[in-house]
Each structure stands twice: as C-alpha cells, then as structure tokens.
Structure 1
C-alpha cells in the first residue's frame, strides 16, 4: 500500500509550478491568493477589517459630473415610495394621548414675549447676596500685652487669631505675662505662625496659671516636641477645661497621640479637646476620657456642687 502511494507521488515531481501560474487568468490568480490567505494560520489574528478583501471594485462609468449626480439623486428621491402608516394620522391624537397642552416653538415665543403673560411674570431671578472677606483682626497687640501685664480685671478674653506678623519674642512675652494674670479666662492664638518655642512657653504658663480655662493653638507650626510639652504641662493643671491644637503644619505622630490619650485619662477637668486623632486606639481612649469628664461635671451639677 505504501509503495503504491509513493508511486502516485512520483508523477508530481516533474510539474513546473511557474508554468501553471503563467497559464492562470487574472480571476483565477485572485481566487488562489484568497485561498492561500485563508490557509494562513496567522490570518485569524488579524482584525476583521484587514481579513476581509475589498469587493467593491467596479469599472468607472465615466468622468465625475456634479449636475448629473444631483439630478439622479433627486429622481431617486421622487420615485421612492413612502412606507404606508399602519395607523392613519389624525390631528386629534394629542388630546387622546393627554398631551394637548403641547405648543409649538412659535406659540411658546409669543407667550413668553407678551407683557401680561408668559414665563417672565412667573420666574424671577434670585438676588445674589455678596459675601465679603472677613475684616482683619482689630486687636491691638501691644496694648493687649500691657493690659495682661497690668492684670486688667476687665480683660477676660484675648483673641490674636490670624495676626501673622506677631514676632516670636512678643508671643513669648504673652506667655510669660499670662503666668501672673488672674483674670484672662480665654486665650486664642490660632493661625499666628506659632512654633515649638511658643508651645513650650505656653506649657510653662499652664503649670503656673490657675485661671485660664480655654486655650486655642490651632493652625500653627507646632510639631511633636511642642505638643509633648503642652501635654506634660496639662498633667499639673486642674483649671483648663478646653484646649485646641488641631490642624498643625505636620502630623504629630502616634507617640504624641498616646501621650494625649493618657493625659486625658488622668485629667478630670478637660471637657473639650480639639484634635483629630489619626490612630483609632488613642481616639477611642480620648473619647472615653472626655465622656467621663463631662459625666463627672454633670453629676456635680446635679448634686449642687457647681
């Protein structure tokens, strides 16, 4: 069987492929090219637009003539038969569908342009209220410092917020003067570019001052060193009820937050602590401590001690 198969193949060895291709017509060559491309294993990997051959090649019917083309298109459009409607059109269909209130664009314009009617007498624009920037802090820094040093009994609140040009030595003088002051109950230094030396000075003041109840140091340049000094000072202070040190230039870190939580657990007077904890553990401990202090004050008030 194998020998007979080989004998059948012997007659194809002497075939001249070039002669066969030369005898093929142009149409047969295109068919052969298409068959060979379909047999290509990589043909399936090509996009469909590249696999499909162009079958729209037609002989030219003549030179381009715009007028003849337009007349042909018009003739085709006129001869085209419109499709018949399944349901004949009736003008009362708007009322049947419940859209009888629809108006045309012309009617809408006539209604809006009239003086006595239309949309202009119904819709009115709201008057915009301008929002102006807040005025600068009017506090006189030098005069306030002198009043603190003289222990002015009429000065119970000091607000230096958003005053950017207070020198560091002047801020230290404020902290030093507050050590001997017995009337100021609220002191605010938010957004004054205060840094760690100011925080350390405020911590030393808190160890001595027994009158201050609220201290605000938000939005400054205090780092973990300055915050640690404040936390250590609050261990010896039993009069401050509110302190705010949030929104500093950089995060204070986990170790400082742990110190804050421990301080709040040991302190029984602070009922408001303005700081956003980044760690869940210190946050939960601080929240529980603040709740405990507020509950303690509530019980004292109920019992009549406050």
Structure 2
C-alpha cells in the first residue's frame, strides 16, 4: 500500500535524525529510485529496523547546535513548519526596541543614496547599441488553400448577366442587395433614387465625404425678461406663450419673481425654460407654481441642471391641477435616472389622466411600455370626449334649427 504524505514526512525526518546522530554524510539530497538486489543496510542492519526508533528520545539527546543543523537540512517548502523556520537566514542579534517604520525607511533611503553604483564593465557611449538588437520575426503569410476556396455556381444565365454588366449596374445591384461597405453614401443614394452614378466615383474612384448642408444659425433670444415678468404679473390676456429658451445668466431673483407671478396667472398656457440655467434650487418654487396655476398646458424645462429627484418633484406637481398635457425634461445633469426613479415616475404618470406627451429618456423597457400605454389611453379618452362634445354641439344646433323653422 502506498504511503500517505504524513507517513513519508515522518520517515524522512527519522532518517535525517539517524544520519545526524551517527554522523552519516549525505552526498545528495535528491531522492533516486533504484532497483537493488540486496536490501540497504546501516551498520549491518536493515534500514527498516530504524523505523521503530523513538524520534522524541533521539531529539532529546541532540544539542542545540545539532538541532539547528538538522533544521537547516529540512525541506524549506514543508508546509508543516512555521514560516519563520523555512528560510536559511537567522538573525542572532537581540531586538533594540519596537519597530519604528519612519526611521527604517529613512535608513534605507540613506543607505541607497550613500552606496556607490557598481562600475560599468564598458563605458557608456551615446548612440551605441549594446547587445543584440531584437528583430521581430516576419508575420506568417496566411495563404488559403485552393481546395478551401469557396466556389459559388450562379448558373449560366447569372454568369452571363454579371459578366456583361457595366460598373454602374453592378453598383446599383450592390445597393439593392444592401452592400453598404462596398460604396460611399453618394453612390448608395444615387442608386436608390435612380439618379445615375456621379462621374469619377466608380469602384476605383476616391471616396469623399459628402458636404453637409448649411443651415442658418438660430438668432439669439432677445426676449426681455423683465417685460415678460411684468406681463405675467399683470395677467395679460394676450400673453399666453412665455419663451426664455437659451437666455443665459438669468438671476435667481428673476426666476423666483416669475414663479411667484405664475401662481396667480390665469392666461399663460406655454412655459418654455430650455437651457436657461434651471437647477435644484429653483425646483421647489417652480413645482409650487405648477400646483397653483390652472391654465398651463405645456411645460418645457429641457437641457438644464435638474437632478432626477427634482424631475420627480415636478412630475408630482402635475397631479394637483391636472391641466398640463405636455411635459418635457430631457438632457439634464444626470443622463441616467435609474430604476428606482423611473419606476416612481411611472407610478406618477399612471395617476395622471390628462398628460398626453412626456419628454423623458427612460432606460428600462418596463417603464417605457407602461408610460406609452397610459399616454395612449389618455389620448384615446380625450379623442372620445372631443367627439362626444362635437356630437352634443351638433345636436343642440339641430334642435335650434328646428325651433327656428317652427317659429
């Protein structure tokens, strides 16, 4: 039966103790397996006799020097020994005191600076390459075997048609089949629109980027903020659309004056505050204005610095009067709202029976699907209401006409 790891280890220790006690020199530490015709003997006795020797008794008879010699001969990779006894270095000095890490690092740095560098065997020469320069091997040439090449038999009819086809016809065929990487945009769109290929843009032509169309730059928003605030405060019946889009450096004082005026306004229907520096410090005032105002139908606060919690606060404010039909708040400080915020927005939208359009970037499909379903339900409800009101109006008009005819 094969020996276990513990038995092999114990046998090896016993043999080392016996060799140390009787001063038997070991010529090699390597274990060799040999086939012997006669059993190995020690002092005329078989080695198996020493297997029953009491190791503790022999260790008690060893001196400290003999035990240290024995410890050095033990395999340092032995996992049964503590780590402190697996190395050959032994410090015999007494400790001078507790460890001071800062002093130790300073001493090591001082020794490193004071220790002279090793002299070079050859003097340094600028531009001289020492040793053999490594040259990368050439990349392997991957050649496809003739038998592995794919041969497609298109038939005589197709082979004849493709052989006699012109370059423009092949480009048109590639566009129809959807081979976008074989042509540029001009070739692809010309093929789809049947305009004919541009001159000099065949297979060997130079691919050039198509020139983008130039659109006129939007003029700056010259709206007078003070004047618009005054109109909102005075509740001007003709002023129904407030547009502060892209107006920079609007002070917080003006923002707060506008929101306070919105609480009592009864004619404003559209509020556009795109890219005007709205932040969380303005959200509470704006939410209170939305809750107090009963005529706003469209609110647009895109491209600002509102946090996801601020967006939730504004959507929650829509439930107070339930008059807003369109709310947009994309491109804020945080592009990703998160699952918790999106689910909270979904619950608030599902409680709103009047909102028809919502401008928000939602990441999760569940929130998108539920909100889209609810918005469509609101649109259908409003369409049925309008149709019913129209029929009632036609009925009243018909009754009025009958009364007139009778008179």
Is residue 2:364 matched to residue 1:279?
Answer: yes
Deviations 1:8-60 (A, max 9, x none): xxxxxxxxxxxxxxxxxxxxxxxxxxxxxxxxxxxxxx9799xxxxxxxxxxx
Other-structure match for 2:240:
156
Is residue 2:281 matched to residue 1:167?
Answer: no
Unaligned runs of 5+ in 2: 1-135, 140-163, 167-198, 200-210, 392-407
Deviations 1:152-191 (A, max 9, x none): 1110000000001111221121111111001110010001
Give the 5 Å matches for 1:7-26.
none
Q: 1:133 and 1:297, CA in 2 relative to 1: closer, same or farther beyond 3 A? A: same
Alignment partners' CA distance in 1, 2:267 and 2:247: 23
**Alpha-carbon RMSD:** 2.8
Question: Does the residue aligned with 2:355 lie in a helix, a strand or coil?
Answer: coil
Alignment partners' CA distance in 1, 2:242 and 2:220: 15
Q: How far did 1:254 drift?
A: 2.1
Other-structure match for 1:9:
none
Give the 5 Å matches for 1:1-306.
130-250=214-334, 251-304=336-389
Q: How far did 1:253 drift?
A: 2.5
Q: How far did 1:206 drift?
A: 1.3
Q: 1:128 and 1:232, CA in 2 relative to 1: closer, same or farther beyond 3 A? A: closer
Alpha carbons 1:219, 1:245 under 8 Å: kept: yes
Alpha carbons 2:357, 2:375 under 8 Å: kept: yes
Alpha carbons 1:213, 1:242 under 8 Å: kept: yes
Deviations 1:267-296 (A, max 9, x none): 110001111111111111111110110010
Structure 1 length normalisation: TM-score? 0.57
Q: 1:98 and 1:305, CA in 2 relative to 1: closer, same or farther beyond 3 A? A: closer
Alpha carbons 2:269, 2:297 under 8 Å: kept: yes
Aligned pair count reads 189
Alpha carbons 1:214, 1:240 under 8 Å: kept: yes
Q: 1:47 and 1:201, CA in 2 relative to 1: closer, same or farther beyond 3 A? A: closer
Deviations 1:187-234 (A, max 9, x none): 100011100122221111111110110000000000022112112212
Q: 1:305 and 1:178, CA in 2 relative to 1: closer, same or farther beyond 3 A? A: farther
Alignment partners' CA distance in 2, 1:256 and 1:200: 18
Alignment partners' CA distance in 2, 1:98 and 1:170: 71
Alignment partners' CA distance in 2, 1:304 and 1:186: 25
Alignment partners' CA distance in 2, 1:197 and 1:207: 17
Deviations 1:67-112 (A, max 9, x none): xxxxxxxxxxxxxxxxxxxxxxxxxxxxxx999xxxxxxxxxxxxx
Unaligned runs of 5+ in 1: 1-45, 50-96, 100-122
Alignment partners' CA distance in 1, 2:337 and 2:352: 21
Question: Does the residue aligned with 1:191 lie in a helix, a strand or coil?
Answer: coil
Alpha carbons 2:346, 2:371 under 8 Å: kept: yes
Question: Does the residue aligned with 2:299 lie in a helix, a strand or coil?
Answer: strand
Q: 1:303 and 1:146, CA in 2 relative to 1: closer, same or farther beyond 3 A? A: same
Alpha carbons 1:168, 1:194 under 8 Å: kept: no
Question: Does the residue aligned with 2:303 lie in a helix, a strand or coil?
Answer: coil
Alignment partners' CA distance in 2, 1:141 and 1:275: 27
Alignment partners' CA distance in 1, 2:328 and 2:212: 36
Q: How far did 1:304 drift?
A: 1.9
Q: How far did 1:255 drift?
A: 2.0
